[in-house]
Amino acid sequence: MSDVHQRMREDWNARAREDAGYYVAFGARGQSEDEFFATAKDTAEGLARELKRLPPADPRSRRALEIGCGPGRLMRPMSAHFGEIHGVDVSDEMIARARRNLNGIPHAHVHVGGGSSLGMFASESFDVAYSYAVFQHIPSKEVVYGYLRDAHRVLKSGGLLLAQFNGLAPDDRYDTWSGVRFSVPELLDFAAAHDFQVLTMEGASTQYLWTAWYKRAPGWAATLRPAGMVASILAITNAQNSEPVAPASGRFASVSMWVRGLPGDAGLHHLEVRIGRAPAVITYLGPPDAGGTQQVNALLPEVVPTGLLPVEILWLGEPVSTPGTLRVIPPGPSVPFLLSVTDGVNLVSGSRIETGCVKVTMEEVLRPEEFGAEMAGRPVESIEHFCTAPRLHRYEFNFRVPAATPTGPHQLKMWLGRRRFAPYPLEVV
């Protein structure tokens, strides 16, 4: 294991010296400080929203830990939510940059980590531990599990762990950039064995599998008992909008339920949702509001009939409320559509192609091998496709600008089989 830790430290030190901002945020090379810290906005806001799961308290009384803090990109905005925040990273080069970037925030502290141990921190000392875009770069599952076990140790009882994993299909070539991948069942099994109550599993089978876990006391699960009919379903809508319908398949085949009175120990291990008697996949269990109402999101079963279907919620195998009703309609036809076109390396440069590479992202792509494109009257070169979200049939297509393409404005023409897309304006520089 020490060899893995040493390789991680050496590789991330080299990346920090080369271009820390690019390797941490993968937006563009040579970013300014303002550009680099602007890339933290959406992630920091998402983490901050999850803090509603904590009991009410003065933020100044709370302590947080970031696992894999890098040069402090997230610690800087997250420090506003805590009276004390710590970051740990395997790379001493990254930590040196974090100290400079966090200068002026006296309650922010960073540390060089030794392997997957958080041994410099006392047990039961943090309210929150979080990690983003870190575990996806670690080449060993045991190292990741080591961080998770020690996160449980340093969290207070009822403390919150927020973590992102690579949920893509397994690969056999893991290194310190393309690290290990996890399935939802693997993570649920680990959480169950280590007394975590799992609240969310969003983005299964994608690179950005987001999770939220509460720390519970040893043997917590063995103390759980059925609660009886204590909850009520107030409303059921499509998870993407407020319509009370969902298609049987496709990107809109998910529901949001507003449920009052769920047991406080409810989590993804012991809570079930059945739609038309078939098990749905719960992805999100929100924090209760002042009246005890929680949002529960679930993906429809892979095979589900259309029509008015009962929606049941069970806790420890027994119903906790009377059933609700959902109208399931036939799905519409699959129509490929374009999500984005960017430079293949400098993603924040948009349609300004600076590296000679282009990245195209599309959804509802059933036959990715039929993708083609041309610029300046010549076919693009070296097309590769990669599925980033199987349920949405989302694909990335990466290719090179045709050789000898002059700089300046161009039209990118794209097609999938017989379907042609409107020309997309690009600037080659």
The region, left, alpha or beta by phi > 0 then psi within -120 to 50, assigned to residue 74 is alpha
The CATH number of the domain holding residue 21 is 3.40.50.150
The rounded distance, in Å, linking the Cα atoms of 426 and 358 is 10
Taking CA atoms, 179 is separated from 39, 92, 165, 247, 269, in Å, by: 22, 20, 10, 35, 26
pLDDT of residue 416: 96
The CATH number of the domain holding residue 301 is 2.60.40.10
pLDDT 10s digits, 123-169 = 999 999 999 999 999 999 999 999 999 999 999 999 999 999 999 99
Q: Do 200 and 65 sit in the same domain of this protein?
A: yes
pLDDT of residue 1: 54
pLDDT of residue 84: 98
Beta-carbon count within 10 A of 104 CB = 7
Q: How many structural domains are present in the chain?
A: 3
Domain boundary among 222, 248, 274: 222
pLDDT 10s digits, 163-202 = 999 999 998 789 999 999 999 999 999 999 999 999 999 9
Q: Do 216 and 67 sit in the same domain of this protein?
A: yes
pLDDT 10s digits, 145-157 = 999 999 999 999 9
DSSP element (H, E) containing 191: helix 184-193
299, 321 contact by CB (below 8 A): no
For the chain, helix, strand, coil in percent to 5 are 25, 35, 40
Q: How confident is the model at residue 6 (pLDDT cuts 50, 70, 90)?
A: very high
Q: Do 307 and 349 sit in the same domain of this protein?
A: no
pLDDT of residue 184: 96
- For residue 383, the enclosing domain spans 337-428
Q: Do 40 and 155 sit in the same domain of this protein?
A: yes
Q: Do 273 and 401 sit in the same domain of this protein?
A: no
Within 30-140, residue ranges assigned H as helices are 33-38, 41-50, 75-78, 92-101
Q: Do 389 and 270 sit in the same domain of this protein?
A: no
Domain boundary among 329, 354, 383: 329
23, 15 contact by CB (below 8 A): yes
pLDDT 10s digits, 205-245 = 999 999 999 999 999 999 999 999 999 999 999 999 989 99
297, 255 contact by CB (below 8 A): yes
The rounded distance, in Å, linking the Cα atoms of 38 and 16 is 19
The rounded distance, in Å, linking the Cα atoms of 366 and 7 is 39
Q: How confident is the model at residue 348 (pLDDT cuts 50, 70, 90)?
A: confident
pLDDT of residue 116: 76
Helices and strands (H and E) in the chain: how many: 7, 27
Q: Supply the mean pLDDT for the chain.
A: 95
Domain boundary among 313, 329, 345: 329
pLDDT of residue 141: 95
Q: Do 243 and 273 sit in the same domain of this protein?
A: yes
Q: Do 300 and 342 sit in the same domain of this protein?
A: no
Q: Give residues with Cβ within 8 angstroms of 97, minimum separation 6.
A: 16, 20, 70, 71, 72
196, 214 contact by CB (below 8 A): yes
